[in-house]
Amino acid sequence: MVVGGVEASTRDLHAQLPQAATQTYPLAIAMWEFSWLERKWAGAGYEDLDQALGELVERGYDSIRIDAFPHLIYHDPEATYTLVPHWQVQEWGSPGIIDVQVQPNLNAFLAKCKEYNIRVGLSSWFREDKEDLRMRLTTPEKLGEAWLATLRSIDAAGLLNTVLYVDLCNEWTGPFWCPFFENDPPEAIWSEWQTDKSKDWMRRSIKILKAAYPEIPYTFSFTGEMHDHLHDKGRFDMLDFLEPHIWMTQYNNNEFYEEVEWEWDRFVFDSFQRLALKGEPAFRAREAYWVNGLKGMIDHAARWSRDLGQALVTTECWGIVDYRDWPGLDWGYVKELCALGTEEAAQTGRWLSISTSNFCGPQFVGMWRDVAWHRRLTDIIHSAPVEEDVKGSLLAKRMDMF
């Protein structure tokens, strides 16, 4: 890059970028999931971490959520594992078989985040390797022990102070991400995280981590439509905060995706072709309806948080669940919905960390390149109000430590 007529290195550029906000919270968070480790080929977005993190800070983000691959660390932190692609049409992770080594790469990545003043939330999508080691997590204790091994490997490198929180499983109890867990009843998946068995797993796995690292906040992230039935799910006192994933497309039982005939394809592009043809026209035809649906779900989540007395974090959110740079797909209306969701969540006073979308990474070029859009929204996040009970949460106290 040329700066002032002189070729500047990425390191020089980092020194010129605005640094992470000094306000402790709310934080602007981006989801880099398993891409941070898997997408290292030329043009994949994460092959130059100085560039990727420098651009993250330039856009105003001060935290990220990544996959720590705890099941692989639990088995052997420095072994090389062959990962099977979860999908090929999506831009998260690798579309092909790929070899990865979690440690020492995880600690090197955390050290780089510390250098850029980026706080890191740890999560896991429990990526499938050729031995399918995730299926060995047959009890909540083993799930807790896998995460304990992960935290100890980070602690041994003196990097525990980079960890913002631990989300023990992405979108619990969805079978994509925790196939080692069978709910009771077995058909209770995705949004059925209130069952006795689910809560027992959450409670027992977190108990192991609390005994060793009580200062770290723990949670399980969830998905599913936010509506009045949230209050029927009972209490989640084992969680230090709530991490719901909220999209417009969830509204009224995934009505938008039904309308555009989205079928959740993972290895063929048919759904993306239909979305390109029908997505924006469907949104514009009933724009007020979809907007009000999104606003209503954010309001339900805020009231749920207030009723339970627990803070909120949302790292995947607001418009379309699945999107990419693709012929016929324009980021315009997606960015409109993401801006709306960010603004609505920020004004509730219940969120300690907010993402602007689940596309906040360099591989989503059409979303990533609009620096001004990101800066406007991350500024809104950083200046958002926070209610007093949220300020007293363990997560807020953890944020105060940075």
- pLDDT above 50 for 187: yes
Q: What percent of the chain has pLDDT over 70?
A: 94
pLDDT single digits (tens) 289-321: 999 999 999 999 999 999 999 999 999 999 999
Say if residue 2's pLDDT is above 80. no
pLDDT at residue 12 tops 60: no
Q: Encode pLDDT of 208-223 as tens digits.
A: 999 999 999 999 999 9
CB 72 within 8 A of CB 79: yes
What is the structure's pLDDT at 5? 31
Whether 7 has a pLDDT exceeding 70, the answer reads no
Work out whether strand 218-219 and strand 80-83 pair parallel, antiparallel, or are unpaired: unpaired
Q: Which helix (H) or strand (E) holds 63?
A: strand 63-67
Q: What is the C-alpha to C-alpha distance for residues 157 and 384, in angstroms, rounded to an integer?
A: 34
Contact present, 396 and 353 (Cβ < 8 Å): no
What is the number of residues in the chain?
A: 402
pLDDT number for residue 24: 85
CA 53 to chain centroid = 16
Mean per-residue pLDDT over the chain, rounded:
94
Does residue 244 contact residue 305 with C-beta atoms inside 8 Å?
Answer: no
d(CA 144, CA 150): 10
Across 162-236, the runs of DSSP E, i.e. the strands, are 163-167, 218-219, 221-222
Cut 0.85: pTM above it: yes
What's the pLDDT score for residue 13? 38
Mean pLDDT of 19-33: 79
Distance CA 204, CA 63 (A): 28
Domains of the chain in start order, with CATH, are 2-400 (3.20.20.80)
Residue 402 has pLDDT above 90, yes or no: no
